[in-house]
Amino acid sequence: MSGFAIAKMNRRAFCGAAGATALAAAVPTRADSTRTVGDGNVMQAHILTGNGEWTYRIVTGWGKLPHGTVFGGTHGAIAEDNAGHIYVSTQSETGVLVYGADGDLLKTIASGFPEVHSMVHADERGVEYLYCTVQKGTPAENWLFIKMKTDGTVVQKITAPPEAGFKAPNEWRLTAAVPGPEGSIFIANGYGDSRIFRFDSKGQFKASYGEKGHEEGQFDCSHGLAVDKRYDQPLLLVCDRENRRLCHFDFDGKFVRTVTTHLRRPCQVSFCGDFAVVSELEGRTTILDRDNVPVAFLGDNPHTDQWAKYDVDPGAIAAASFSASHGCFIDKDANIYISDWNKTGRVTKLTRLRS
């Protein structure tokens, strides 16, 4: 990494277990607390979560589906297009739901791919695309990468590259994909051997990085990928879920550093300026600052028996809590959208309170 400059991690001591415990005790999450505020002659009870400048209000009923439309499960992701429409993937032939910012369902797309696990928006020379990993698709096409336009038109597919040693279909169990420099595509085989793969813009295999394990530079479920542009040089950020940490790699596949540890099984990451929002499967969403130190915990669920449970009744989960935070996205106004890993389907919008 010659010439690489990065902000000094002057508070990385926090990332040890003792530091993480200290902040958790010092910063209350206030999950499911309420505040009554005046609005003219009307008094409104707000359901809040978070702390300090990262205090959020739960938008009750956002994303409610019309009669006859079902999530069929939410084991996926959330993205936004240039027009501000919100895309939420489902585990059914409903496909991908497209909402207005107000939470009204506008349409559905990609019904042929009923289990999109990850979804990242990209604008390429004025044309908008969604980079997606698919766990369940048509009978002939499962576990594949697709690049599609925002109307659902598929323009590219990538399956397991035999050059990387894949011999059986069930070895390729991809979980995440992001566009990289110069048209490259990075794909994580998180539910398989945990390696990360680089392809060129035409889908030709170029290289693989990492291996399954617990040492630095190894992964135990490379569940989520994101391009981290908070520093002088963009980096690939990996949610190393079962090792409970986030890791940086450069785009040549070189391990840079482990940046945060002791998370609750991180799934996906979304950025807003110098801050990163991390969905955690064990009932919480965390906001990290530029030093990758937690500054807020959202939806911290005190009921540990609900953590990472797929079959929890959404009605049994407190409004300001998460059971299995999986898909996450933060928009330019710092509104946050979370989809729980849930058999019935659960999506939550949080709006940031302004002082």
From CA 45, how far away is CA 31, in angstroms rounded? 14
Mean of pLDDT values over 132-148 = 91
Sheet with strand 235-240: strands edge to edge? 222-228, 235-240, 245-249, 255-260
Beta strands in 18-102 (DSSP E): 33-39, 42-51, 54-58, 78-80, 86-89, 96-99
What DSSP designation does 66 have? P
- Cβ atoms 174, 158 nearer than 8 A: no
Q: Which residue has the higher pLDDT, 74 or 11?
A: 74
Hey, what amino acid is at 30?
Answer: R
Hey, what amino acid is at 231?
Answer: Y
pLDDT at position 34, please?
53
Check: pTM over 0.95? Answer yes or no: no
> Which residues are registered as beta bridge partners of 286?
278, 297
pLDDT at position 13, please?
36
Question: Quick check: 21 pLDDT over 90?
Answer: no
Kindly indicate the confidence band of residue 135, based on its pLDDT and cuts at 50, 70 and 90: very high
pLDDT at position 4, please?
36
- Cβ atoms 73, 345 nearer than 8 A: yes
pLDDT at position 129, please?
98
Selection from 26-35, 163-172, 193-202 with the highest mean pLDDT: 193-202
Tens-place pLDDT, residues 291-339: 999 999 999 999 999 999 999 999 999 999 999 999 999 999 999 999 9
What DSSP designation does 72 have? -
Tens-place pLDDT, residues 146-188: 999 999 999 999 999 999 999 887 899 999 999 999 999 999 9
Kindly indicate the confidence band of residue 22, based on its pLDDT and cuts at 50, 70 and 90: very low
